[in-house]
Structure 1
Amino acid sequence: MPEQSVGVVVAPGVPPETAGLLRANAPLLVRIRSGWVPPAVPPEPPEPSRRGPSSVALLAATPVVLALMAVLLDSPAAPLGFVLLGGFVFVVLLKITSMSETPLRERPHARGVYEQARLYDGRYLLPEDFDEEAAAVLGRAQRAIGTVLRSHVNAEGLLDGARNAVLLPEQEWEIARLLAKLSALRAEHRALLARGVAPEVAAVVEPLERALAASEAAVVARVEALERYAAHVAAAERAYHARSQIEELRARLPRYEELLAESGADSLSVPEVERLAQDADQLERLLRRSVSSAHEAFRYLEG
């Protein structure tokens, strides 16, 4: 398991509700992939039969049953004591068996995850699909994408939010898919080398290693393009917040000016007011430049 933890990556096109279910159930998906099948959901039993013997009731009844058995076994009704003992043991074993099964209330959820996992098999990837190096690269891509999608400049429409919502998940899936394939090939290659390579095979191994390195470099280049885009968006985000704070301060200026005039210190206000206005203009220009740079970086992502 890689040190850098990544979550379940789901392909674009999977319904959002199903995608959320898969992302939230990585441990179940690992078990399902290993061959585990949750019990089918039984038909709803009638109300009386749904109540089994509780653990607390069994514990409370044990001393009473043992005392009664001791009395019966020491009396002419000894066979009845053996019957009572056998019945009690049967109930205890039944309770133990039921405790080892998947709880009834959990079966519909586990079964639902299982059915969606089978339905969308091949359209999601698990953390175990990535080796340590791949997980680190995927983590970089996910952080860059999160920076963009969670930004205020994206939510406020200063970026192309609709295209971001489509292109960035596609980029994440394609990067994750390639990294999973790269991880599998690297694992096979390392296993081959661990067994020892004959001199005749060494000439073939070297080009394969170059192919793995070139493929990794190409994926990393995609991630770096995402990171450049995210850096432009982060700059625009900082300018956006700074501009908002400046605008808030400008809105308060009349109250400060009024206070200065009433106190006879109004001559001190002119330079500060002018500087505040200049700062606001500079931040406005910075924000426009940052957003423009982000758009350029986005066009580069589209290829």
Structure 2
Amino acid sequence: MVDVVVDPEVPPEDARLIRESLQVLIRMRDGWTPHAEASRANIPARVAMAVVILGVMLGLMLTVGRGGAGLMVILLIAVPLLVLIFVKSDLGDEHEQTAVDRGIYEQLRWYEDRYVLPDDLDESSRRLLARAQRAIRTVSGSAVNNEGLLDDVRNAVMLPAQEWEIARLLAKLSSLRAKHRRTVSEGVTPEVAAVAEPLAQALDSSEDAVVARVEALERYAAHVADAERAYRARHQIEELRGRLHQYEELVAESGADRFAVPEITRLAQDADQLEQALRRSVSSAHEAFRHLEP
């Protein structure tokens, strides 16, 4: 499953609304526009139903006859009230929802080309975008990024830009590929095939270029994951070293020196090795980052 991708240039509040309004956006893509009179369109049907209810109740009152005068008074008061509640409540709910959708429409209709929905992508493109988004989450959610060991400021700018460019290209590719397949599926003459084949190759080449972008992101994420493992391991070793004197004290008191000496003395060596591994991993991540830049 892929997420909605929004152009990083869209203001944050509008971008958030785009991500939260998938169903409205899908309807907008299908050509839907809200109208003020939409909520009134079903009024005749509701009024007709109300009239039917009223007719049934009047029939009951006539059946009751004069002996049920009290009941008739109650029905005369209750029926119109029930009909009014029925119509007003139904209209109110629909009007409220329509107003919400209209507000979303009015706010987002200016951003028609500034977002990519999952439905804008074919299956192959969705898989590619999912890979890119996994790589981005790996980097942005890592402790080494959040602790500033990577260039977190540049990541915050570069990663959304990469995601948007990949999604935008994949949406265009999906659209053209669908049109191309529809055209050639009808059967083509040799003359048309001579033109269609190079165009199909152009589509494949474009996909290969996007794949290269995604793979570069994945390589960067892999280096970040290596740095993340070294960072966490170093942190754990430091915690163990901080309690080293407690281990030494316990070993001495229990007379278990022969079991603990090699393990305890190795802690310092492991910490140094992990520090070097972390530096190498961060350096490799920085190098991979440079390959992502335009």
TM range (shorter): 0.7 to 0.9
**What letter is aligned with 2:63?**
A
1:200–1:89 CA distance, 2 compared to 1 (3 A): farther
Match of 1:182 among 155, 162, 173: 173
What's the counterpart of residue 29 of structure 2? 33
Q: Distance in 1 between matches of 2:59 and 2:269?
A: 90
The verdict on how the C-alpha distance between 1:239 and 1:69 changes in structure 2, with shifts beyond 3 A counting, is: farther
Q: Distance in 1 between matches of 2:212 and 2:66?
A: 82
Query: Which residue in the other structure is 1:55 paired with?
Result: none
Cα separation, 1, equivalents of 2:286 and 2:105:
41
CA contact (8 A) 1:233 1:294 kept: yes
Shift of 1:290: 0.4
Match for residue 138 of structure 2 among 128, 133, 147: 147
Structure 1 equivalent of residue 263 of structure 2: 272
> Is residue 2:216 matched to residue 1:216?
no
- Tell me which amino acid in the other structure corresponds to 1:200: E
More moved, 268-277 vs 200-209: 268-277
Show structure 2 runs of 5+ residues with no match. 38-52
Q: How much does 1:298 deviate?
A: 0.2
Aligned partners of 1:69 and 1:84 also within 8 Å? no
CA distance in 2, matches of 1:65, 1:257: 95
Deviation at 1:117, TM superposition (A): 1.7
Q: How does 1:33-72 map to 2 (within 5 A)?
A: 33-38=29-34, 67-72=60-65
Identity across matched positions, percent: 58
Distance in 2, matches of 1:83 and 1:274, equals: 95
Aligned to 1:102: 94
Give aligned pairs, total.
Answer: 276
Distance 1:255 1:24, change over 3 A: same
Residue identity opposite 1:252 in structure 2:
R
Other-structure match for 1:157:
148
Tell me the equivalent position of 1:232. 223
Classify 1:252/1:38 alpha carbon distance in 2 versus 1 (closer, same or farther; 3 Å): farther
Q: Confirm or deny: 8 A CA contact 1:70 1:81 kept in the other structure.
A: no
Q: Secondary structure at the match of 2:126?
A: helix
Instruction: Tell me which amino acid in the other structure corresponds to 1:232.
Output: H
When residues 125 and 72 of structure 1 are mapped into structure 2, their CA distance, relative to the original with a 3 A threshold, is farther
Q: Which residue of 2 aligns with 1:20?
A: 16
Structure 1 residue runs of 4 or more that deviate by more than 6 Å after TM superposition? 61-66, 73-76, 80-86
| Partner AA of 1:203 in structure 2 | A
1:206 paired with 2:202, answer no
User: CA 1:69/1:133 → structure 2, altered by over 3 Å: closer, same or farther?
Assistant: farther
Distance 1:270 1:198, change over 3 A: same
**Unmatched segments (≥5 aa) in structure 1:** 42-58
Aligned partner letter, 1:70 = T
Matching residue within 242, 247, 250 for 1:259: 250
Q: How does 1:104-119 map to 2 (within 5 A)?
A: 104=96, 106-119=97-110
1:241, distance to aligned residue in structure 2 (A): 0.8
Q: Given that residues 14 and 108 in structure 2 are in contact (C-alpha distance below 8 angstroms), is that contact kept between their aligned partners in structure 1?
A: no
Q: In structure 2, how many angstroms separate the alpha carbons of the residues matched to 1:126 and 1:170?
A: 16
Single out whichever of 135-144 and 23-32 deviates more from structure 2.
23-32
* Most deviating of 185-194 and 18-27: 18-27
CA shift for structure 1 position 116: 2.4
Name the structure with the higher helix share.
2
Instruction: Please give the root-mean-square deviation of Cα atoms over the aligned residues, in Å.
Output: 3.2
C-alpha deviation, 1:8, in angstroms: 1.3
2:7 — aligned with what?
11
Q: Aligned-pair distance for 1:266?
A: 3.5
- In 1, Cα distance between equivalents of 2:140 and 2:75: 71
Q: Residues 69 and 85 of structure 1 are in contact (CA less than 8 Å); yes or no, is this contact kept in structure 2?
A: no
TM-score, reference length from structure 2: 0.83
